[in-house]
Structure 1
């Protein structure tokens, strides 16, 4: 039960929070912020997020392509047998161009995705406490901030998880068709049933031949997967930074600042935790995206006689058929190259975002570290 004291304090906090948000919308002289100033700040934040996504994804493009190839290859005709062998095979058969195949499409998707994701997280973090305080049941009281009543205190890991999940869902949904065609462009070869010439051609072809719903195949497991993945990324990254700054173990933090190397390590830890939890859903999403693409399995293996089931009635059916025909381990195909990819990718994205925002002169929000 929540005491009357707690209810009173939470009500005061709610009023205080709302008043603070209203004050933020005003200048110190009592005027209202110029729309152009607010728009410029939003644009800078979006640019920082977009640059972070583009830089981080390009840095690990070969590993990203190998991960997808491992996820969808025919188990009866194995061509890619691990990270080193897989990268060597791509290099020998397709050269440098093959290592970065699909990266242009990937960046075209990840740049807006990253921009929306970081911006959405900042906004969700900014207003989350006010939204939670407005719940009459006060069920979430005590989970809002680490120090209730102190509005300058950091958000709790639980709230960061929620804000990150919201940001991930918004960003993923807004750019999902790009991810769908990126997967197909990545796995296509000269023997592919379709030869997509680029992003727009792939989008128009899928839309025309398979219908608009095909652009969102695998969306459900993506929504479910993005909750722990993006949510844990933000929660682990910010919480780990806060802990390092407060406890200063091994002298890693000086004057409430962390070095670039330390922040990269925080990002690596965050990426590792998030992707390990959500990886099976990523595999299922990728396979569902290939449904409807005739002989999709042969795109990777060249084996057109394969009996691998490619028709799924939904996410649960995709899980069931994958485990039944290939075993539970199939849900983690490509995990090793993905782990090698995620560690630097997430780390680079977080640090690049903070650096670019600092260069552009935008007020920091991610941990304010």
Structure 2
């Protein structure tokens, strides 16, 4: 009797799936697979570029009057010489603990936001065959970025602190949870969201452009096939990697100054970063920021406009493969798991 009931339930779920109506268990499984694919994509892509990620942060918060390294290669050599191989991956465990849920939420949120925006767009235009435009994709990507960033922001704060801590740092964190408890105890819960405003503003063009450029490039290549890259309406992995690289380059360049300001607001008082210059040319006490605008003003005033792009080179080298790997890994994992809906669909 029990086996007959189980067979009937499976038959009903299969029928609902064929008719386009998803049973609760079927929908939950699809959501879980989508989240898993996003998490795997984030973990793999970020670990692959972990040394460049650390180098970018160190360049962003480096005191301009006590420079240890002037570029990416020199900085990586310095880390290797002083901290060894493990130093290149310092903070990566915490970074993955943040990026895996962040990536999972971001990709899933983008799919849901895209569906909602497309449905509204079709209702407004009266065209049931209408598709997402680049502008609508930009909006969906921005929504996804804000949701994911806000949900995991304390982890980003902790990751930044662990990445730059040295023997001279005011606190020494043994790990992610110790850092969280120490910050809450010593600085209060608001400290976990230092730099949140520039992060929100920066993630709008960053995530929005990443998704919009990636999908628009893919659509253009599939529909026009200008270079003969499309085979059976499907792009190769290499072509998709190139689309992801272009998307990452555009998004990070536009949003980078906000990332610098966010990091500086998080690191106030740490590692002698962003110090005021005295009349004799020596650095005084570290800067304190009253907000995002004040951080922008003081950074440009004391270090010049170029300071807003400190670490851009290692970030560019990092973002190109990272975003590309994330997009392609997400689609490949979803194919392996048998999820029928991919980003570009």
TM-score between the two structures when normalised by the length of structure 2? 0.90
Structure 2 CA distance, aligned partners of 1:133 and 1:37? 27
Residue 252 of structure 1 aligns to a residue whose secondary structure is coil
Aligned partners of 2:273 and 2:296: how far apart in 1?
Answer: 22
The CA RMSD over aligned residues, in Å, is 1.9
Partner of 2:81 in structure 1? 92
Distance 1:355 1:172 in 2: 24
**Equivalence for 2:153:** 176
1:249 corresponds, among 222, 226, 246, to: 226
Q: 1:79 aligns with which of 34, 48, 68?
A: 68
Does the CA-based 8 Å contact 2:16-2:23 persist in structure 1?
no
Q: Which runs of 5+ in 1 are unaligned?
A: 1-25, 142-147
Report the Cα distance in structure 1 between the residues aligned to 2:302 and 2:162, rounded to whole angstroms: 26
User: If the length of structure 1 is used for normalisation, what is the TM-score?
Assistant: 0.84
CA–CA distance in structure 1, aligned partners of residues 71 and 249 of structure 2:
18
In the aligned structure 2, how far is the partner of 1:356 from the partner of 1:67? 29
Residue 260 of structure 1 and its aligned partner are, at CA, apart by 0.4
Q: CA deviation at 1:339?
A: 0.1
Distance 1:73 1:169, change over 3 A: same
- The answer to whether structure 1 residue 238 and structure 2 residue 215 are counterparts is yes
The answer to whether the aligner puts 1:66 opposite 2:65 as a matched pair is no
The answer for the alignment partner of 2:172 in structure 1 is 195
More divergent stretch after superposition (123-132 vs 333-342): 123-132
Taking the aligned partners of 1:324 and 1:318, their CA distance within structure 2 comes to: 10
**Residues 154 and 193 in structure 2, CA contact (< 8 A), matched pair in contact too:** yes
Of the three residues 298, 302, 307, the one matched with 2:272 is 298
Shift, 1:255, TM fit: 1.2
Mark the CA change 1:98 to 1:300 in structure 2 (over 3 Å): closer, same or farther.
Answer: farther
1:203-230: CA deviations, max 9, x gaps? Answer: 1100111010000000000000000000
Q: Secondary structure at the match of 1:78?
A: coil
Match of 1:41 in 2: 30
Contact 1:354 1:364 in 2 (8 A): no
C-alpha contact (below 8 Å) 1:188/1:300 kept by paired residues = no
Alignment match, 1:352: 329
Evaluate the alpha carbon distance shift between residue 247 and residue 95 of structure 1 in structure 2; reply closer, same or farther with a 3 A threshold.
Answer: same
Contact 1:193/1:299 (CA < 8 Å) preserved in 2?
A: no
Separation (CA, whole Å) in 1 of partners of 2:25 and 2:257: 44
Name structure 2 gaps, 5 residues minimum: 1-14, 276-281
Within 1, Cα distance between the matches of 2:342 and 2:78? 43
User: Could you say which residue in structure 1 is the equivalent of 2:108?
Assistant: 119
- Secondary structure at the residue paired with 2:42? helix
Provide the rounded CA distance (Å) in 2 between the counterparts of 1:265 and 1:229. Answer: 17
Alpha-carbon distance in 2 for matches of 1:268, 1:319: 28
Q: Provide Cα deviations, 1:274-295, integer angstroms capped at 9, x if missing partner.
A: 000000000000000113xxx4
SS at match of 1:257: coil
Aligned partner of residue 284 in structure 2, secondary structure? coil
Residue 149, structure 1, aligned to residue 127, structure 2: yes
Give the Å deviation of 1:308.
5.8
Is 1:320 the equivalent of 2:297? yes
Q: How many residues align?
A: 325
- Provide, for residues 71-126 of structure 1, a one-character-per-residue CA deviation record: whole Å limited to 9, x for no partner: 00100000121111111111111111100000000000000000000000000011
TM-superposed deviation, 1:31: 9.6
Establish whether residue 108 from structure 1 lines up as the match of residue 86 from structure 2: no
* Counterpart Cα distance in 2 of 1:154 and 1:30: 22
Change (3 A) 1:74 1:355: same
Distance, in Å, in 2 between the alignment partners of 1:78 and 1:353 is 39
Query: Partner residue of 1:50?
Result: 39
